[in-house]
Chain A
């Protein structure tokens, strides 16, 4: 018997089932289909300005920084300012995201490079798929638009998110992922990012910048 068959047989023996029970199959299919939500904290169940304010507070709680601009055209200046304020070089890597590419980078003196990171970039910008107000989390999806390596290799990561994409809770983001990719399908990677990289492994002292970015800066576009 193959390992697979053996394991299934043992599971079924232990559970006292044979695997072909219609009711059990129905229950499982139904749950996979309906994906019931469970308990959703009230905290995030706010809208408009209140949701944006919660999101920003939670982003800051996660030790990231956040700034708000009123149109995509203002994003490059905001990023240039962030880099300048932290004495960081005026370089920036990004993927093929059309929203980012359409921004007026030539208004700044930033030197822009494109494509995934190979580990030598100091700064990168990604466009988020969405935000989650409940915990100040950014949701990013992999693809040529926003390569996953940009989320982890650079020292300083900047994430742009549209205010209208900031949801109350994780579940709302899953609904959008299903809408975009089809029920039951996923992009290769969905990254939830909540603050900069950190470790507490040495004497349980919190230190930022373990393997991922030392700084995370969020730019919210409120257009």
Chain B
């Protein structure tokens, strides 16, 4: 499978992002908005922490019985008149979707926001085959106009400012008056609403993702604030649901537990504006709704994560809280990560899906501050899983040679306390003496990464152990 990723160039991507003034300004919105809103929503619900436990347990239970719940789900979809397709990988998924679109004679396909559709690069495939995919989530629409990937899993255009959106709208919406006023964000929204309304009404097929699939009833659930997902799925004749296999939950009650933590963790809302439970195609008496209902269940690497330490990642409900709270994400934004999933969840998931040789930087580019884990609604131990990737890289000798030799050098001394004391005593005496006058170094050999942005404080000179031995020798009880 060819994957279009710039994850191997993470460092260069990050360096560019740090110098991008527009991006840095836009990233300020992430720091301010999401964090406070999530905290307030969590504080308002005394049961929030126990709901997180409940959410984690539901997902764990489901994953342990995934084969059986998938069977139950499939049976129910079929019983309600829908079709279930299985795709081992992205290529199979693309083929299935294209075949359904062709059967529907589709020229225009509207799309609700779906990360799995980014993962399988369906838009590129549809376009190559003469079908026009139209993203309808406002953020997705904007980045589609720009030919970009989403930079955030729930706020795809969070890396942009209103002036950039205005330029894109003027560039693309050429049928509108060139002198129109677009200086206010609400004017941009109104324009997008009008343009997309026509697309909704003209679409032949609607593709949505799924936040959850319910085994009990064969139901797919989508959550939006805009209502675009609903217009995508009720207006065209054919509705296609794309979902990775781990989206299953057993019952409507289980889905309700997860919905109670999803919006609160994502946007700080009590619940999103539209939570839609869809089961099969339109019924005989129905006056509207799709005539055909297809679900494409995509594995694309998930089944191999089961039973490994990365199984915990399959609990993820794509709320984005981890990236909203990540200092690295705040600094470089989502595009630096180089593929579909950014931030801490991306740092764990991306190596699983496109290979650690491609995405090796991602689990390393973390300070392990643990803020992501502390807000994850399904309690995924993200730093621990990133560390597991580092271990795999170390085992497979993918860790950079400089790091390996540095570790070996340091490990050699750390395992030999007497030698360690001797060596450090001498080294610190030298450094301490050299740094005595200024108290810090602006440059040190082998520490360029450090001294590029900050001074290196000078040591006091004598080591603790040397002084302890000198002062307390024979005194200790």
Q: Do chains A and B touch in the complex (CB under 8 A)?
A: yes
Contacts from A to B (Cβ < 8 Å): 2-4, 6-8, 10-12, 14-17, 19, 24-25, 27-28, 31-32, 35-43, 58, 61-62, 95-96, 115-116, 118-119, 135-137, 142-144, 147-149, 151-153, 169-171, 174, 177, 184-205, 207, 209-213
CB–CB A15/B216 < 8 A:
no
Q: Is the CB–CB distance between B276 and A119 below 8 Å?
A: no
Is there contact, CB below 8 Å, between A184 and B256?
no
Closest residue on chain A to residue B192 by CB atoms: A210
Distance of B275 from chain A, by nearest CB (Å): 4
26 residue pairs A–B, Cβ–Cβ below 8 Å: A7-B297, A7-B299, A10-B299, A11-B70, A14-B305, A28-B65, A35-B254, A36-B253, A39-B50, A39-B257, A41-B51, A41-B260, A62-B270, A137-B271, A143-B287, A144-B287, A186-B217, A186-B218, A188-B282, A189-B278, A189-B289, A190-B277, A192-B275, A199-B139, A210-B227, A211-B228
A200:B253 contact, CB within 8 angstroms? no
The 5 closest A-B pairs by CB, nearest first: A212-B227, A210-B226, A201-B139, A14-B306, A10-B303
Q: What residues of chain B lie closer than 8 Å to A7, measured between beta carbons?
A: 86, 88, 245, 297, 299, 303
Contact with A along B275-305 (1 / 0, CB 8 A): 1111111110111110000000101000111
Q: How far is the CA of A169 from the CA of B54 in the complex (A)?
A: 16
Chain A proximity mask over B151-174: 1 for CB below 8 Å, otherwise 0? 000011110111001000000000
Q: Which of B230-238, B380-388, B420-428 contacts A (4 or more CB under 8 A)?
A: B230-238
Report yes or no: A28 in contact with B250, Cβ–Cβ below 8 A.
yes
Given A32-B251, A135-B270: A115 touches B287 (CB 8 Å cut-off): yes
A60 vs B115: C-alpha distance in the bound complex, in angstroms? Answer: 32
Contacts A28-B65, A41-B47, A203-B185 supplied; 8 other A-B pairs, CB < 8 Å: A41-B46, A61-B270, A174-B252, A199-B139, A201-B157, A203-B161, A207-B189, A210-B189
Q: In the bound complex, how far is the Cα of B71 from the Cα of A78, in angstroms? A: 49
Assess whether A210 is in contact with B193, with CB atoms less than 8 Å apart. Answer: yes
- Pick from A118, A135, A207: contact of B185, CB under 8 Å: A207
Chain A contacts of B71 at CB under 8 A?
A: 8
B10 at interface by CB-CB < 8 Å? no
Q: CA A27 – CA B67 in complex, angstroms?
A: 13
Task: Write out the residue numbers on chain A whose beta carbons fall within 8 Å of the beta carbon of B251.
Answer: 31-32, 35-36
Residues of A within 8 A of B365 (CB): none
A199→B138 contact, CB < 8 A = yes
Which one, B29, B226, B289, contacts A211 given CB within 8 A?
A: B226
Determine the residue in chain B with the shortest Cβ distance to A61: B270
> Do A211 and B227 have beta carbons less than 8 Å apart?
yes
| A208–B68 CA distance with the chains assembled, in angstroms | 42
B residues in contact with A32, CB < 8 Å: 72, 215-216, 250-251
Complexed CA–CA distance, A96 and B287 (Å): 10
Q: Does B201 contact A (CB under 8 A)?
A: yes
Question: Inside 8 A of A200's CB, which chain B residues have their CB?
Answer: 33, 155, 225, 267
Known: A147-B287, A199-B138, A212-B226. A204 touches B155 (CB 8 A): yes
Complex-state Cα separation, A143 to B29, whole angstroms: 41
B128 CB within 8 Å of chain A: no
B303 touches A14 (CB 8 A): yes
Judge whether A58 and B64 touch: CB under 8 Å.
Answer: no
B188 contacts A by Cβ under 8 Å:
yes
Chain A proximity of B61: nearest CB distance (Å): 8
Contact present for B225 and A187 (CB under 8 Å): no
- Please, which residues of chain B bring their CB within 8 A of the CB of A19? 67-68
Q: Which of B157, B160, B225, B277 contacts A189 (CB 8 A)?
A: B277
B189–A209 CB distance below 8 A: yes
Report B-chain residues with C-beta under 8 Å of the C-beta of A42. Answer: 46-47
* Complex alpha-carbon distance, A30 and B65, angstroms: 12
Q: Nearest-CB distance from B40 to chain A (Å)? A: 12
* Residues of A contacting B260 in the complex (Cβ-Cβ under 8 angstroms): 39, 41
Question: In the complex, what distance in Å separates the CA atom of A14 from the CA atom of B155?
Answer: 34
Given the complex, which residues of A lie within 8 Å of B304, measured CB to CB?
A: 10, 14
- Determine whether the beta carbon of B228 is less than 8 Å from that of A210: yes
Residue B92 lies at the interface, judged by CB distance under 8 Å to chain A: yes
A197 touches B155 (CB 8 A): no
Tell me, in angstroms, the Cα distance from A193 to B254 when the chains sit together. Answer: 19
B193 in contact with A211 (CB, 8 Å): yes
Alpha-carbon separation in the docked complex, A2 to B96 (Å): 13
Is B306's CB under 8 angstroms from A188's CB? Answer: no
Residues on B with C-beta less than 8 A from A25 are 68
Q: In the complex, what residues of A have CB within 8 A of residue B253's CB? A: 35-38, 171, 174
B76 within 8 A of A: yes
Q: Does any Cβ of A come within 8 Å of B262's Cβ?
A: no
B336 at the interface (CB under 8 A from A): no
* CB-nearest residue of chain B to A140: B276
B66 CB contact (under 8 Å) in A11, A116, A185, A201 = A11
Closest Cβ neighbor of B74 among chain A residues: A4
Establish whether residues B186 and A207, one from each chain, have CB atoms under 8 Å apart when the complex forms: yes
Shortest CB distance B34–A (Å) = 8
Residues in B neighbouring A58, C-beta threshold 8 A: 270
- A24, A137, A201: the one within 8 Å of B156 (CB): A201
A196 to B227, alpha carbons, bound, how many Å? 9
Structural contact, B288 and A147, CB atoms closer than 8 A: yes
